[in-house]
Structure formats: structure tokens, C-alpha cells
Structure 1
Amino acid sequence: MNDNSCIAGVVQRMIRNGNRKDSVIRGTKFIFHFQAFKLIEEKRILLDDSQSWNRPMELIFGHQFKLEIWETLLARMRIGEISEFDCLFYLVMNYPKVASQLRKIMVEGTHAEPESHCCGASMQKFSVGYDDLDELISNPPKYLTFRIELIDALSPNSYERETWTMSEDEKLSRILFLKESGNEDFRNNKLDKATDKYYEAVALLDQLLLKEKPGSKEHDKLSDIRCPILLNYCQCCLEKDEFYKVIKHTSEVLDHQPDNPKAFFKRAKANKAVHNFKEAIEDMEKVVQLDATLTSTANKFFDSIKKIQSRNDKSDEQIFKNMLKIS
């Protein structure tokens, strides 16, 4: 089947029709295999074949993949479809650089070198590290042909996305989802899962905060979202006896919200657990000042510290007596 109306500069030949066409939006993940060919004197020369690699290709729609034409072609395909596309070389002139990076990552298992930017003219003197790809640059063919098999197209919410692929709004949505999911895990006593989700949410917020000026309205707004999630993380740390983490992160909350009774309460408990009794008492006194309904709870807290101190005094006294004994 021929479809010459695919897009200007591209001729499509459908090899196998697909069975499903889903809507494509920003963040859709395409999973596909491809083969790349150049044509020399009517003979096809294979350049790359993703099926010889250890996994299929993945491309996130709307995130400026270096071969923009691939996004356009994949968005037109049905899942399960196999098509060939003859593309005028000016549409895919970045292919040598893209293919070089893919070979380093997918075949050699090494990281691609940092990208250097150059115009089409200067590319004539530019080497990408592979002779066949350098030949494409120095002697560009009229067409490159891509045979593409679309394996699947995943909606943005159906897979775990890497943060670099997310917009700021998408990160905020992810943060709120992680918070609610973490709360559900905590209620079901899935402490490790809850801890991981709160931690990821805070890390995403920290990325957003880096872009805002401290003291600005947007920075304060993000910090207000961060504080309760960080306190949820602290509660998990309390349950896991990670008391110094609690002291550190509740102090962060209090730097932004100096009258947060939950932060003082959690820090008081952590300080008590590590025998920072003076600090624990000061924190709990602050809790009572901020929320008088917790007076009874605070009094029990103070009594428990007195009992611990009394036991410690007796233990120290016995140790001292033992040291004075004549052996």
C-alpha cells in the first residue's frame, strides 16, 4: 500500500496494518523497532537495525527528539503497524549524530559524548565516530529509508516517567499523586513504600524550587506544598527509629514555618529518643504554646522524660558506687 500524502518530503509504504490507533498527546511513549537504509545504485545498504540491540527504541512524544520527523511518523501509525518511509535527506540530516549516540548507548553500552552544535555546512568536516555515518555527512544520499514497527504507544499516566520528560505542571501532578499514594501506603502499614513515595515527592519539589527565587511568591507556594509531605516523611522515619533524620528535616520545616506544631511535636519525640532531653522539653513546650489542646499529651511527655532521667541518675549512681569499691 502506498501513501504519498504522508508528509511533504516523505513517501510511505505500509507493509502491515496495525490493529489500534490511540490518541497521541504530549508525553505519549512510543515503543518501536526500526531499520535504517541508504540507497546506492538501487541497492539498499543497512545502516542500523534496532532488533539487533538489547531492547526496542523508546521515544517520548513532544520532548524534542533530535529527529522530529520520527515523532510525526509514529503519531500517524497504528499499534502493530509496519511501514517504510522514504525521507528526503534534509528532513533527517541529524540521523548520523542520532545514530552515533544510539550505537554508543545501545550497542557499546557507553554514554554518548556531550552534544556539540554545528550547522549543516560545518557538519561536512565533523566526524561522529563511525565511517558509514561520516559517509552520510560527506556524501549525503537523496533519501534515507526507515522501516518502522510500532510495538506500543503508552499514555503518559500508564508508565513511570523519568523526571526530565515532565513539564512543571506534570511534576506537580506527580507530587500530589505520590503524596496521596504514600498516605494510603502509610495507612496500610506499608512503611517502606510510603517512605519512598514521600521522598520522591520532596525530591521533585526540590527540583522545582531550584528554578524559583527564594522569598518569591512561587517559591513560598512550593515550600508550603513541601512542608506537609516532608513531615509525612519524618513520621515514617520516626516509625523506623531514624531519629536524626527526623531532627534534620523537621528543622527544615521550621525554617519555613516557624509556628508549625506538628514539626515541633515530631522533633520533640526524636530528641527524646536520642536523649536530647533539654531540646525535647523546649520543643514540647512550644507545641503547647501553639496548640493548647495538646497540654495533656505534653504533660505525659514531660513525665516520661523525668522517669528516664530518674532511671539514668540511679544507674549513674550505682556505676559510681561500683567504681569506689575496693577490689
Structure 2
Amino acid sequence: MSRFYLIRGFLTKEYIAGRRVHYVPPIRLYLFISIIFFLSLSFFVKPNFDDLSNQKQKRADIVQQIDSQLERFQTQQTAANSEKLQDIANHQQLLKQYKTDISQSNNTKSLHTTIELVQLELLRIKNDPPLTEKQQQKLERLKEKLKTSNTDKTVSISNNEDGTLSLDFLSDKNNKILNAKADEIETKASELLKTSPEKLLREAINKLPQIMFVILPLFALLLKFMFVFSKRLYMEHLTVALHSHSFIFLAVLIIEILDTCFDALDSPNSWVSNLIQFLMAILLFWIPVYLFIMQKRIYKQSYFLTSIKYFIISILYTFLLTIAAIIAFVWGLLSI
């Protein structure tokens, strides 16, 4: 029966040494674990229904407060003079506009700003007690913030001070086309991040398996370069890369499962929750330790030399992952 070990690089050493009959091939092992990992990752990335519920409740509460104030205005109109009637009419128009904005808004950021603004406006209208200087300043800041919140871009793609994107090796015409495309991506990304970030995140995650098939051989090439004197073949470095990623995916998957179990607990301070947190911390600590031990056992160099190379590899690999994340983000964005 096939079996595999991911402890301290045992499986990798066995496979490179040619003892392969009893073990799962690296590519098959990677595919099996990565499929489960990315499928589960899509499951774990889901909207926070508690936040959505709270947002819905806040929206309903502030609309109710506006309606109550509008009813008070109706009562006050019968005994008001012409000047007071004009003030009431202005306040009614303002509150009705805020009510419409709150009811129709699908922008979480501007909705939160509008709710804060209305709460201060209601205090100002009641004038009991009058707004403090600090509250008045906050009111003005919120008004200014609300003006720009729907037009501000969350994402910016530029390399110039004026916010444009241009490349020196391109002609002016091609730079204009590039800048127009970048502006289109900025607008679409900003809108999605405000309205449905979960959808964008899911699309980006769906692109990661394909991108990782490019990252893996690049990581193996990096190992080949860093351990050039180890006399290892490229396929042996690729085996190290496949087993390393299999272990990382497996560890992160277990952490996600433990985190889900922790969220499902009724009491966050019980011994079970403390045990789960301890196990998660151990796994997070073990990931970099395992990768270091694996490189030490496979390439058989001194601790000092392995530490230096491990540090350099970590920096370069982080850069690779950053590029991969950007590609996944843009690719996912263009797929929507």
C-alpha cells in the first residue's frame, strides 16, 4: 500500500535515493493535496454573515431614527413661523436624501460614513444638547469624506506622480492605450472591492492553481541556483519543491479546519479552544522550521550556510508569491 511521510524531508530523501515503490510520486501527491487545499480555500473564504446582519440592522435602525424625526417635523409644522418652516423643509429634504442614500447604498464604506453623518445631523437638529466643537468638526469631515468616498479609487496602477502609467519603451500612442486599460482595471477593482470583495477574492483563488504550476518550476530553478554545487539534478530540486508545497498546503489546510472549529465553539475560553489555539500556533511555527530542516537534510550543508541560503530563498520566494498574488488578482478581476 502506498504511503507518504512529510516529516523532516524523509519522503524527499527516500524518493531521491531511488526507493520509490512504496511512496506516492511527488506530482501525484502535490495534485491530490493541492486540489483539496484550493477547493477548501474557496469554501473557507465566504462572506461574514454576522457583519452583513449587523450592517442590515444598523441600516434599519438609522432609517427608523430618520422616520421618527420626520414625524416630529410634521407635528412642529403646525405651530412654526415662516422662518422655522423653511428650516424644517431644509432638514426634511436633507434627511430624505440621506434615507434614500442609506436604503440604496451597496458601498460599505460610504454606508458607514453616511450612518455616522446622519447620527450627528440628528443630534444637531435636536440641539439637545448642542454639538460640541469636536462633534461639529467631525460632522464637516464626514461630509467631505462622503463627497469623495464614491469616487475614490481603492486600487491605483501608476508609476507617475500624476497617477498615470507609462513605460519608456512604448510609444506615446501605446502608452495612452496602456493607461486607459489601467484606468479601466482601477475603476473595476475599486468598485468590486467596495461592493463584493468576496466575489473578487474567490475568482483570484480560482486562478491560483494554474499560477502555482508556473511558480513550482521557478522555485525549483531557484533551489538549483542556490545549491548549484550540491550536484543535484533539476528533477531532484523539483521534487523538493513539490514536497515543500504539499506540506505547506497540508499544514495550512489543517490550520483552516482548526480555525473553523474554534469559531464554532460556544465558549472561546474553554480548554478545547485553548488546545485548538495551541495546535494552530505549533503548526504555524512548524512550517518554516520544517522547510529549513528539509533543506538541511536534503542538501547536507552546514547550519550556517543553510541558514544564509534559506533566508535568501525565503526573500526571493516571497517576491515570487507577491507577483503570483498580483497576477491572480488581475486575472480574477478580468474574469468577472
TM-score of the superposed pair, with normalisation by structure 1:
0.20
Larger radius of gyration: 1
Taking structure 2 as the reference length, what is the TM-score of the superposition?
Answer: 0.20
Looking at secondary structure, tell me which structure has more strand per residue. Answer: 1
**Structure showing the higher helix proportion among its residues:** 2
Higher relative contact order (CA closer than 8 Å, sequence separation 6+): 2
